[in-house]
Amino acid sequence: MLSVELALALGLAAAFAPRLPHLRRRYDATALSPITRRPEADPGDEALKARLNAWVRDGAGSGAALLPWATAHLPTPLSRLQLPDGQENAVRHFGYRLAGYHQLDERGRLGGILYRIGVQMRPLLWFLPRRPDEPWDDAWLDEVDDNRLAALARWIPRRPTLIVLDRLSASRVEQIAAALGTAAGKAEHPIRLLVLEAKTIQPHRARGEKP
């Protein structure tokens, strides 16, 4: 009996060993910055949030792998969407819930700790498809310096990730997209880049001047 139990223990250890490095991964605050909620803000357009939900999941794969050392199939590692800045409230509300922060808001201290532990241990279950309510990592970037840009190129997602660029210059957006293209080449999880466009300021025209 002991030999059977030992064989079972060794088999489990061998199965989980390739997944253990995933447990050491943490949120990379050098590259990312969390989405914050504004309780007083209008939650925004529900139809848009449904559209965003479909977009982030399109090509995201199931998250399940056949073997513990295998990588789950990822049809679309990186996808990009642009929206006008007037949609900020809806985007912020959607991202906050996608990242699972509302799960912590709705639980007590002990419930929040247990929820975090469950999320952290999820990589061990390589054979299970991702649930619709599993939290994504998130970032809301309204300022990106050269150090953060370099960190984004080095960054490797630990789970599916939504990154929102809040009214950055067009040149900076393209630099970030290129950096994330590098990251996506190493990614095991989908990256979704949502760009909130800055308002275009129309030049002043004198009265009677043709537009």
Written as tens digits, the pLDDT of the chain (211 aa) is 557 666 666 666 666 687 788 888 899 999 999 998 876 778 889 999 999 999 999 999 999 999 998 989 999 999 999 999 889 999 999 999 999 999 988 888 899 899 899 999 999 989 999 999 999 999 999 999 999 999 999 999 999 999 999 999 999 999 999 999 999 988 899 999 999 997 654 444 444 443 3
Q: How far is CA 33 from CA 130, 161, 165, 166, in A?
A: 24, 12, 11, 12
In the prediction, which pLDDT does 3 show?
A: 75
Nearest one of 119, 98, 109 to 37, comparing CA atoms? 98
Chain center to CA of 47: 21
Model-level pTM greater than 0.95?
no
CB 184 within 8 A of CB 192: no
Q: What is the per-residue pLDDT for 2? A: 53
Q: Name, in order, each residue with C-beta under 8 angstroms of 139's C-beta and a sequence gap of 6 or more.
A: 31, 32, 33, 34, 35, 161, 162, 163, 164
* Contact between 37 and 99 (Cβ < 8 Å): no
Computed from CA positions of residues 185, 187, 191, 197, in that sequence, does the dihedral angle turn out positive or negative? negative
pLDDT of residue 145: 96
